[in-house]
Amino acid sequence: MMPPDMEGHGDLFHLNEEQANRYTAACLRLASLIAALIWILNIAGFFIVDRTMMNMIMPLSILLFLVPSVLEKAGMNGRKETKYLMIGCFALGIAMLSAVLTMHAVLAWSCPIILSCHYYSPRVTRFTTFAVLSLMLVTFYLGLAIGVWDSNVMHAVEDPGSASQRLGYIGRHMSTGDNIYVRGFNFYYLPRAMILVLVHLISMTLSRRTHALVSMQDRLVRDTERIRAELDIATEIQTSVLPSTFPAFPDREEFDIFASMTPAKEVGGDFYDFFMVDENHLAVVMADVSGKGVPAALFMMIGKTLIKNHTIPGRTPGEVFTIVNRLLAESDKEGFFITAFEGVLDLSSGEFLYANAGHEPPFISRSGSPFAAERVTPGFVLAGLDDTVYKTGRIMLSPGDRLFLYTDGVSEAVGTDDSLFGRDRIGKALPVSGTVSPENIVRAMVDSLRSFTAGRDQADDITMLCLEYRAGKGFDR
């Protein structure tokens, strides 16, 4: 935790200091109005203070109360010393008033101490209390000569008049053993100083507690910013490991492929992949890891790497998932799992072998007909049970057929009315024309989702892939 006396080290403290300076300047503008009102009332005869003295002191007090506003307008609000100048002007202004209203301004002395709490700084509160106690002592003795006559302190009802006459009166009393300075200190200053010390202790408690709370909030803000930065990096890493260069295989005319992932605000576990198993077989993968955050993203990268490494010539997708599932289940300590779909396309025959581990069913368009969800039997999720055996399914694709894979971020996208996009909308949103490329199909789906969600933040990544089988090099779309 930040030590109590450390101030202004965090953005929150700096912001609060600027706000407290503005608040202090506003309070002192109000104090200047009150001082002006007292001045006017004294001129009108409501007080018994010497008008000549009042006419000299009051303008100085009002001027001191307005200095903080001048400092604020001069662009000094962000400097560390500004708060001390503002509090100092407040205390000096009250000292001017107290010099002529010595016995009547005691409540005013507590105002700077209370106001100092707004800086959430025990150091500022200590400085203010020390300044107030010091100035109050000086102005008390100054007030004996020029301030309002107090018969309790002087032991006399009649005011001798001028400052020199008062000092002579005090000297005569001291020669008889009546030390007015000591008696005044004990009678007037000490009780009021003790009250101000009590106000100081209360203000220090408020300053320390608020400073601790703001320190905690400042740490939380910084931790949140750090985590957000780390999540942004994780998102970039997650995106960078996915194939993103299109056309992906410009020298292969047997197929066309395009994929897209729109990450949610929080790092997720969606991933897609496609790669050549050998010269005649193309593998495509679509998967979604449970959970969010960096751990899910790391588990995603492990799963993606294992699936790719174990997809080798002669091994079916079911066998790949059986091996990968066992490896993931053995190392999974956090309880993650993966829904996944992998298919391997024989480019010469159109045979598409696949395995489904609890994933969304693919949509297929045959020779330009509308897309429809393919009936596939889902197996259990990967990393669920280590002894799961996955089956391999088979679909025959003809030249011109398209395959659309996606994660549940597509089907479960939330619209403005809280409804889900759903599979029915997927089939209707996918373009029917046989001349539309896989890239345009994916982009059309992205546009449909964007229109449906109307910019609403989504809780899951939106990932999709479209594959068009073109067969031999002589195939004409």
Domain annotation for the chain: domains and CATH numbers:
11-227 (no CATH), 243-469 (3.60.40.10)
List pLDDT tens digits, range 424-434: 899 889 987 76
Strands of the sheet containing 462-469, edge to edge, are 255-262, 462-469, 402-406, 363-365, 372-373
Note whether 359 and 393 are within 8 A (CB): no
When pLDDT is averaged across residues 450-470 and rounded to a whole number, the result is 87
Alpha-carbon distance 13 to 278, whole Å?
A: 62
Res. 5 pLDDT band, cuts 50 70 90: very low
Res. 410 pLDDT band, cuts 50 70 90: very high
Token digits of residue 329: 């289940």
Alpha-carbon distance 321 to 148, whole Å?
A: 96
When pLDDT is averaged across residues 140-161 and rounded to a whole number, the result is 80
Alpha-carbon distance 99 to 166, whole Å?
A: 15
Alpha-carbon distance 274 to 253, whole Å?
A: 16
pLDDT higher at 397 or 157: 397
Alpha-carbon distance 27 to 79, whole Å?
A: 19
pTM: 0.58
Alpha-carbon distance 406 to 362, whole Å?
A: 7
pLDDT at 256: 95
List pLDDT tens digits, range 102-136: 667 778 888 899 989 888 888 999 999 999 999 99
List pLDDT tens digits, range 21-63: 888 899 889 989 988 888 888 888 776 667 777 788 888 889 9
- Ranked by mean pLDDT, the top range of 335-339, 356-360, 410-414, 446-450 is 356-360
CA torsion through residues 95, 97, 102, 108, sign: negative
For 8, which DSSP code? Answer: S
CA angle 441, 443, 445 (to 5 degrees): 70
Alpha-carbon distance 264 to 25, whole Å?
A: 45
Residue 472 has pLDDT above 70, yes or no: no
When pLDDT is averaged across residues 296-306 and rounded to a whole number, the result is 87
pLDDT at 255: 95
Note whether 211 and 122 are within 8 A (CB): yes
Residue 336 has pLDDT above 80, yes or no: yes
pLDDT at 350: 95
H/E stretch holding 343 reads strand 338-346
- Ranked by mean pLDDT, the top range of 79-83, 310-314, 326-330 is 310-314
List pLDDT tens digits, range 164-176: 888 888 888 888 8
Strand pairing report for 270-278 and 281-289: antiparallel
How many residues would you count in the chain? 477
Mean pLDDT of the chain: 86
Residue with tokens 């400092």: 71
What does 224-281 look like in DSSP terms, one character per residue? Answer: HHHHHHHHHHHHHHHHHTS---SSS-TT--SEEEEEEEE--SS---EEEEEEEEETTE
Residue 191 has pLDDT above 90, yes or no: no
Percent of the chain exceeding pLDDT 70 equals 94
Note whether 402 and 364 are within 8 A (CB): yes
Torsion of CA 217, 219, 221, 223, to 10 degrees: -150
